[in-house]
Amino acid sequence: AQKITQTQPGMFVQEKEAVTLDCTYDTSDPSYGLFWYKQPSSGEMIFLIYQGSYDQQNATEGRYSLNFQKARKSANLVISASQLGDSAMYFCAMREGGTGGFKTIFGAGTRLFVKA
Amino acid sequence: EADIYQTPRYLVIGTGKKITLECSQTMGHDKMYWYQQDPGMELHLIHYSYGVNSTEKGDLSSESTVSRIRTEHFPLTLESARPSHTSQYLCASSDVLRDHETQYFGPGTRLLVL
């Protein structure tokens, strides 16, 4: 069974608009961490934002926010005021277990296209 | 900002050659990882290490081998390269006690085996 599911292979957004990238996860572990990464065409993976399973508030980092709905097991990434430089692949990831957990599992990714 | 380095960035090599992809990090992280990724596709974990003298195979079977003799260094070796090894290889590291164990990635090595 897929542990991390990103159902949108590709998304388009108009420059300066907000966009939501979906991510659902599956775990029975009460302690886990959720991450989003950006991968531009140059290939490097850039860490964007982190949400812990016990965090009460949704994580925010600049224009990035994570819409964490624990009961639905979803951790959607919201990018506000999209910029052309946001065009990239975006990967959702989950680390099961507390700190020292076994490994991090990545989703298949969503490619975001920002239109001028 | 992550301080993790990979060399070479690009490599074109003939079938049967032995190659070593270098990965170094200056953050003192205990855990290190190697991922294989085809363009625009998901990442596949091929090797990881919990610390010096610790290496484990990942989810994706790989003909490569790794070593961890020093904390900062985690090279990946292919004894005999084949066209099926053509891919991007990403190295990452994390700290069990810091940053929620966030993995920080190097810039990647794009390998083409002819």
Distance CA A85, CA A35 (A): 20
Mutate which of A48, A92, A104 to test chain B, going by most B C-beta atoms within 10 A? A104
Residue B77 and residue B20 in contact, taking contact as beta carbons nearer than 8 Å: yes
* Mean pLDDT of the residues in chain A: 92
Residue A45 and residue B93 in contact, taking contact as beta carbons nearer than 8 Å: no
**How many interchain CB pairs under 8 A, A with B?**
59
A16 φψ region: left (φ > 0), alpha (ψ -120 to 50), beta (else): left
pLDDT tens digits, A43-79 = 999 999 999 999 999 999 999 999 999 999 999 999 9
Cβ separation B101–A33 shorter than 8 A: yes
Nearest CA in chain A to B47: A103
Average pLDDT over residues B72-93: 96
Average pLDDT over residues B39-43: 88
Residue B35 and residue B67 in contact, taking contact as beta carbons nearer than 8 Å: no
Cis link prior to B8 (omega < 30° from 0)? yes
Backbone angles phi, psi at B65, to 5 degrees: -130, 160
Cα of A75 to nearest chain B Cα, Å = 16
Question: Which residues does residue A114 pair with via DSSP β-bridges, in sequence order?
Answer: A13
pLDDT tens digits, A1-33 = 569 999 999 999 999 999 999 999 999 888 899
Residue B45 and residue B35 in contact, taking contact as beta carbons nearer than 8 Å: yes
Q: What is the pLDDT of residue A104?
A: 86
Residues of B in contact with A43 (CB under 8 A): 88, 90, 107-108, 110
* Residue in B16, B19, B60 with CA at minimum distance from that of residue B37: B60
Distances (CA, A) of A67 to A88, B6, B15, B107: 20, 33, 47, 28
Distance CA B5, CA B101 (A): 19
Residue B2 in contact with partner chain A when CB distance is under 8 A: yes
Mutate which of A99, A110, A112 to test chain B, going by most B C-beta atoms within 10 A? A99
Backbone angles phi, psi at A96, to 5 degrees: -80, 150
Residue B8 and residue B106 in contact, taking contact as beta carbons nearer than 8 Å: no
Residue B38 and residue B88 in contact, taking contact as beta carbons nearer than 8 Å: yes
Cβ separation B103–A107 shorter than 8 A: no
Cα of A18 to nearest chain B Cα, Å = 23
Give me the DSSP letters along chain A.
--SEE---SEEEEETTS-EEE--EE----SSEEEEEEEE-TT---EEEEEEETT-SS--EETTEEEEEETTTTEEEEEE-S--GGG-EEEEEEEEESSTT-S-EEE---EEEEEE-
pLDDT band at B72 (very low <50, low <70, confident <90, very high): very high
Cα of A102 to nearest chain B Cα, Å = 10
Distance CA A30, CA A81 (A): 34
